[in-house]
């Protein structure tokens, strides 16, 4: 006498194994696609305002997130002067709270030692932690 029930159980086990294999394979493909995209942190959101006062170029942090003091500031004066400074080196110590961040109310002041009247002045501020431009602007038109 043959046991017909034993043959049916094998087909159920094979179908469950096939469904599990297909599910795991699809999940692995989706996971590979999602994790293969590079993760880049978003740039900080802040409000920087540039101005000229008394022959000095100043950039004030007026709101938003704090950024590290190793931020680089590129100042373009006229068509010939291209200056690269670090925020830490030119932070106004009267407005600073002596920590590692450029925060609300703190001002970076740069004295170019040239007459700025009539010259075009542009600034670009780059946050080195996220390698992103956080400010670009025209301070004075030429």
pLDDT tens sequence across 15-61 = 899 999 999 999 999 999 988 888 777 888 899 999 998 889 999 99
- Which pLDDT belongs to residue 4? 57
Rounded average pLDDT over 133-142: 87
* 1 — pLDDT class (breaks 50, 70, 90): low
- The Cα 7–Cα 70 span in angstroms is 73
Spatial CB neighbours of 49, under 8 Å, sequence gap ≥ 6: 59, 60, 62
């Amino acid at each position: 006498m043959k046991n017909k029930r034993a043959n049916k159980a094998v087909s159920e086990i094979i179908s469950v194994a096939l469904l599990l294999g297909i599910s795991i394979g699809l999940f692995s493909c989706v996971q590979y696609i999602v994790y293969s995209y590079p993760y880049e942190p978003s740039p900080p959101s802040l409000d920087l305002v540039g101005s000229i006062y008394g022959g000095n170029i100043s950039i004030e942090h007026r709101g938003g997130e704090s950024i590290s003091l190793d931020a680089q500031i590129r100042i373009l004066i006229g068509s010939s002067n291209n200056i690269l400074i670090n925020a830490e080196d030119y932070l106004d110590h009267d407005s600073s709270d002596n920590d590692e961040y450029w925060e609300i109310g703190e001002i970076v002041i740069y004295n170019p030692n040239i007459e700025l009247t009539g010259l075009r002045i542009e600034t670009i501020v780059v946050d080195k932690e996220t390698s992103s431009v956080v400010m670009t602007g025209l301070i004075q038109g030429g």
